[in-house]
Amino acid sequence: MINKWLAEKLKNDVGVSVASVLLPKSNKVDMTKWSVVACDQYTSEPGYWEGVTAFVGDSPSTLRLIFPEAYLETDDEESKEKRIKAIGAKMEEYLQGDLFDELKDTVILAERHFPGGRTRCGLVLAIDLERYDYSAGSKSLIRATEGTIIERIPPRIRIRENAPLELPHVMLLIDDRDETVIEPLFDQRNRFLKVYDFELMKNGGSIKGWAVSEEATIEIMCNALAKLADPRHFMEKYNLTDRQDALLFAVGDGNHSLATAKACWERIKGSLSPGERENHPARFALVEVVNLHDRGLIFEPIHRLLFNVDAGMFIQGFCRHYNDLGCRAYATLHKPEGLLSNSHVISYVSGDAEGYLVVEDPVGSLDVCTLQGYIDIFVGENPATTVDYVHGDDVVERIGRKKGNMGFFLSPMDKNQLFKTIITEGALPRKTFSMGEAHEKRFYLEARKIR
């Protein structure tokens, strides 16, 4: 058990709670069928989720506890409500059916193996939603890395507000170049109890996990996190001249899920006494923390797909818009050479064409800012056109070339610039980067009671 002093230190100093974690009992569950990828992946590929459904069959699975967003656009309101009720009912069924082992006051050390040989390590723990603020200009200990689309939160609230469980696909990043938090635990992993080790479905690789519950070990972890959040260390690290509140955790994946947890907590806490608010389970959210400098963490671009779009109209409007802003914007069939280094060159494909959109002397620093800036305008003026955000060049090629569609390829972001950019410029445009491709995203596995 974690003593009260250490629990308060974790919460007050680094916004962390070492909570009880639920894991399915291995003698009752096929773990490969249990664990499915984050609900916000393969949103334009319902066939992926149909394949998952066929593979899982009637086995216990996190598939029954989530709402794959591929169905958010296709389900009518009645179907959505039915799906949401089924999620809550299945959570209750799993809880009542003695499906879980409860690991009290435990952090999970996870090691993910990807096809091709890369590995990535993380810590599964709960963070204090009182220390998280996703609003623009936030200076909180835990911050969003990209703009939050408020309209995406209500459907998720409908799932979480009455749910007895949460399952995390949220990944937070720490900027720990000296590898002081996660890596020392990984070096000691053979001292800890291994709690899972299995293959993930559909090219997801494999995953291992160890339970870390020794009080002394958790205190060392806490102290390492506290050093990263120390104001003086923070100022020196980022060469800041004006005092700023420290950024310890940056949301790498699952910002809208974490924003949903925050919104639900704000609804609940008003009905609680001050004492009840201190440790109410809904005040915390289970996440995986990953070191930005983990060699297995790759930043991939997130590409854009437009549906029901007139490609010629889009191209003309794009060029006109940026020329009106004083840039030199044009479309060309061949990739231009000899441009200034700050020019943006965005490759596109459509049903009957391909080429490049070029903006010289752009307004923003990233090509994603340039493209998304006009996509938002175009979709606002042409409501029949919809946009999706996808991983992988092959997906853009395959779907973007279909009649009435258009696909855009964006360039990757240097992950080493992430924290400094967030600190000095604020949140990036939504869907600026992705931590790996779709099959490398976090899979649902652990759970936590939130009621």
Cα separation, 77 vs 158, whole angstroms? 12
- Classify residue 28 as exposed, middle or buried by CB count within 10 Å of its CB (0-12, 13-18, 19+): middle
Same domain for 43 and 118, yes or no, is yes
Cβ neighbours, 10 Å, residue 27 = 5
Same domain for 281 and 353, yes or no, is no
Same domain for 316 and 294, yes or no, is no
The answer to whether position 419 is within a domain reads no
pLDDT at 428: 82
**Residue among 358, 375, 249, 379 at smallest CA distance from 302:** 375
**Residue among 430, 416, 406, 418 at smallest CA distance from 346:** 406
Output the CA torsion sign for 159, 137, 434, 225: negative
Instruction: Give the pair of three-digit tokens for residue 239.
Output: 């060469």
Which structural domain range is residue 74 located in?
Answer: 4-299+437-449
Same domain for 171 and 216, yes or no, is yes
Same domain for 242 and 348, yes or no, is no
Cα separation, 95 vs 450, whole angstroms? 12
**Residue among 40, 92, 45 at smallest CA distance from 65:** 92
- DSSP assigned state of 444: P
Same domain for 274 and 332, yes or no, is no
Per the CB < 8 A criterion, the answer to whether 36 and 203 are in contact is no
Same domain for 295 and 335, yes or no, is no
The answer to whether position 256 is within a domain reads yes
Cβ neighbours, 10 Å, residue 120 = 24
Per the CB < 8 A criterion, the answer to whether 225 and 248 are in contact is yes
Same domain for 274 and 327, yes or no, is no
Same domain for 47 and 191, yes or no, is yes
pLDDT tens, the chain, 451 aa long: 688 899 899 999 999 999 899 999 988 999 999 999 999 899 888 999 999 999 999 999 999 999 998 888 787 888 888 999 999 999 999 999 999 999 999 999 999 999 989 999 999 999 999 999 988 788 999 999 887 666 667 778 888 988 999 999 999 999 999 999 999 999 999 999 999 999 999 999 999 999 999 999 999 999 999 999 998 899 999 888 878 889 999 999 888 899 999 999 999 999 999 999 999 999 999 999 999 999 999 888 899 999 999 999 999 999 999 999 999 999 999 998 888 778 999 999 999 889 999 999 998 778 988 999 999 999 999 999 999 988 889 999 999 999 999 999 998 888 888 898 888 878 887 788 888 888 999 999 999 999 8
- Residue burial 46-63, b: 16+ Cβ < 10 Å; e: rest: eebbeebeeebeeebbbb
**Residue among 411, 436, 341, 349 at smallest CA distance from 114:** 436
**Own/partner long-range contacts of 350-353 (Cβ < 8 Å, ≥24 apart):** 350/309, 350/311, 350/400, 350/401, 350/405, 350/406, 350/407, 351/311, 351/401, 351/402, 351/403, 351/404, 351/405, 351/406, 352/311, 352/403, 353/311
Per the CB < 8 A criterion, the answer to whether 261 and 153 are in contact is no
pLDDT at 1: 65
Decide: helix, strand or coil at residue 241. Answer: coil
The answer to whether position 325 is within a domain reads yes
Per the CB < 8 A criterion, the answer to whether 283 and 270 are in contact is no
**Residue among 291, 287, 289, 298 at smallest CA distance from 176:** 291
pLDDT at 75: 78
pLDDT at 364: 75
Decide: helix, strand or coil at residue 305. Answer: strand
Give how many domains the chain has, as a whole number.
2
The answer to whether position 421 is within a domain reads no
Same domain for 189 and 337, yes or no, is no
Same domain for 295 and 331, yes or no, is no
The answer to whether position 311 is within a domain reads yes
Same domain for 239 and 126, yes or no, is yes
The answer to whether position 212 is within a domain reads yes
The answer to whether position 414 is within a domain reads no
- CA neighbours within 13 Å on the CB side: how many for 430? 20
In degrees to the nearest 10, what's the CA dihedral of 160, 163, 164, 165? -50
